[in-house]
Amino acid sequence: MALAGEAGELLEHFQWLTEAQSAALEDGKKRQVAHELADILLYLIRLSERLGVDLIAAAEEKIAINEQRYPAEKVRGDARRAGEYPD
């Protein structure tokens, strides 16, 4: 639950910003965002340690799964879910 709370605190920084504004944060705001990202990372690391999950291995596995589900040449520029693409 703390992880969800930290993710919410991160999102608050971007809630009313455009994509361009989000990409051009002022130094002070960027530092606040960095701290929220660090909080999230620390919670993920602690949770993965407690569950015995290798985060790097899990991320690599998930990337491989997504490459199969969402081939770049088929989905680039399209936000549909995996089962929604025509064959």
* Rounded CA separation 82/22 (Å): 28
Q: Is the pLDDT of residue 86 over 70?
A: no
Q: What is the mean pLDDT of the chain?
A: 90
Q: Give me 25's structure tokens.
A: 């944060």
pTM: 0.75
Residue range 18-25: mean pLDDT, rounded? 95
> What confidence category does residue 85 fall into, taking pLDDT thresholds of 50, 70 and 90?
low
pLDDT band at 33 (very low <50, low <70, confident <90, very high): very high
pLDDT at 9 over 70: yes
pLDDT of residue 77: 75
